[in-house]
Amino acid sequence: MSSAKKIGLFACTGVVAGNMMGSGIALLPANLASIGGIAIWGWVISIIGAMSLAYVYARLATKNPQQGGPIAYAGEISPAFGFQTGVLYYHANWIGNLAIGITAVSYLSTFFPILNNPVPAGIACIAIVWIFTFVNMLGGTWVSRLTTIGLVLVLIPVVMTAVVGWHWFDVATYQANWNTSSTTDSHAVIKSILLCLWAFVGVESAAVSTGMVKNPKRYRAAGYHAGHCDGRYRLHRRDSGYRRYVSCFSDGRVRCAVRN
């Protein structure tokens, strides 16, 4: 790939942070609110695991950069492992893309009620997937630009929620709804971890896209740490609004916007 079509540090950071925040920043507060405030421990455990994984990828990027990221590294151990990782990663991505499309249509249905019908909703979901597939075919530069623009647009409501959300935060209500999942604390934490992991899908983006990164030894590792820390910081700041959301959800004043 020519250097003109490759992406630098800022774009690489945008790809990692944008892929991690993505639909999770809109999807998770509504779903975690049904578990209660104890879901904060799910965040802590998930962040520790994802930070460890990001550090491993960053170190591998500087010591032994390979195009394909985790697929290539698994292939170094055994071709069978590389093939297995590639197949699993492929299926994880197309399933994840469908989930993102469904989430987008679910929220758009608030503004366009016709999307509550199965046929229009299905057509809209397919259209969304194909639009972004076409953008992806244009190359890494277009993808990084779109991801960075999307990241900026996502940060606007996130920052507003993080700041304004404290106005509705009530400590007593938050403590009273510490575990609303009707299960034990350990099961509630495990359930929240499974949901929180969705926010970390995309942490491998810089490694997989090595071929379109300028000076991968330098920019990919930096992009990992910057993108991961920015994504986690923004999601953590979102927790102020999330805690308010827990209080409202538990009081029956908020209806979950995501259909399960």
pLDDT for 19: 67
pLDDT for 250: 38
Question: Which tens digit of pLDDT belongs to each residue from 84-127?
Answer: 988 998 888 888 888 888 888 988 998 999 999 999 999 999 99
CA 232 – CA 13 distance, rounded (Å): 13
Asked which of 32-46, 51-65, 91-105 is least confident by mean pLDDT, the reply is: 51-65
The dihedral formed by the CA atoms of 141, 142, 145 and 151, expressed in degrees to the nearest 10: -120
The answer to whether 37 and 175 have CB atoms below 8 angstroms apart is yes
| Closest to 180 measured CA to CA, from 64, 53, 38, 7 | 38
Mean pLDDT over 245-253 rounds to 41
Residue 68 reports pLDDT greater than 80? no
The answer to whether 163 and 239 have CB atoms below 8 angstroms apart is no
What is the count of structural domains for the chain? Answer: 1
Report yes or no on 153 lying in a domain: yes
| Closest to 51 measured CA to CA, from 256, 248, 241, 227 | 227
Mean pLDDT over 162-182 rounds to 87
Residue 5 reports pLDDT greater than 80? no
Report yes or no on 16 lying in a domain: yes
Asked which of 167-171, 230-234, 252-256 is least confident by mean pLDDT, the reply is: 252-256
| Closest to 92 measured CA to CA, from 168, 244, 10, 198 | 198
Asked which of 57-71, 87-101, 240-254 is least confident by mean pLDDT, the reply is: 240-254
Tokens representing 247 are 């209080």
Report yes or no on 134 lying in a domain: no
Report yes or no on 45 lying in a domain: yes
CA distances from 183 to 27, 41, 121, 178, 193 (A): 22, 15, 34, 12, 15
Mean pLDDT over 32-50 rounds to 91
Report yes or no on 28 lying in a domain: yes
Report yes or no on 256 lying in a domain: no
pLDDT for 150: 77
The answer to whether 196 and 43 have CB atoms below 8 angstroms apart is yes
Mean pLDDT over 135-164 rounds to 80
Provide the residue range defining the domain that includes 170.
Answer: 3-67+140-250
Residue 259 reports pLDDT greater than 60? no
N-to-C CA span, the chain = 42
Of 134 and 20, which is predicted with more confidence? Answer: 134
Q: How confident is the model at residue 253 (pLDDT cuts 50, 70, 90)?
A: very low
Report yes or no on 75 lying in a domain: no
Q: Is 133 helix (H, G, I), strand (E, B) or coil?
A: helix
Residue 46 reports pLDDT greater than 60? yes
Residue 193 reports pLDDT greater than 70? yes
Would you list the DSSP string of 161-226? HHHHGGGG--HHHHHHTS--SSS-HHHHHHHHHHHHGGGGTTTTHHHHTGGGBSSHHHHHHHHHHH
Report yes or no on 123 lying in a domain: no
Mean pLDDT over 205-232 rounds to 53
CA distances from 186 to 30, 35, 114, 120, 221 (A): 20, 12, 41, 41, 35
Residue 243 reports pLDDT greater than 50? no
- Average pLDDT of the chain is 75
> What's the predicted TM-score (pTM) here?
0.67
Of 33 and 7, which is predicted with more confidence? Answer: 33
Residue 9 reports pLDDT greater than 50? yes
CA 127 – CA 134 distance, rounded (Å): 10
Would you list the DSSP string of 40-75? HHHHHHHHHHHHHHHHHHHHHHHHS--TTTHHHHHH
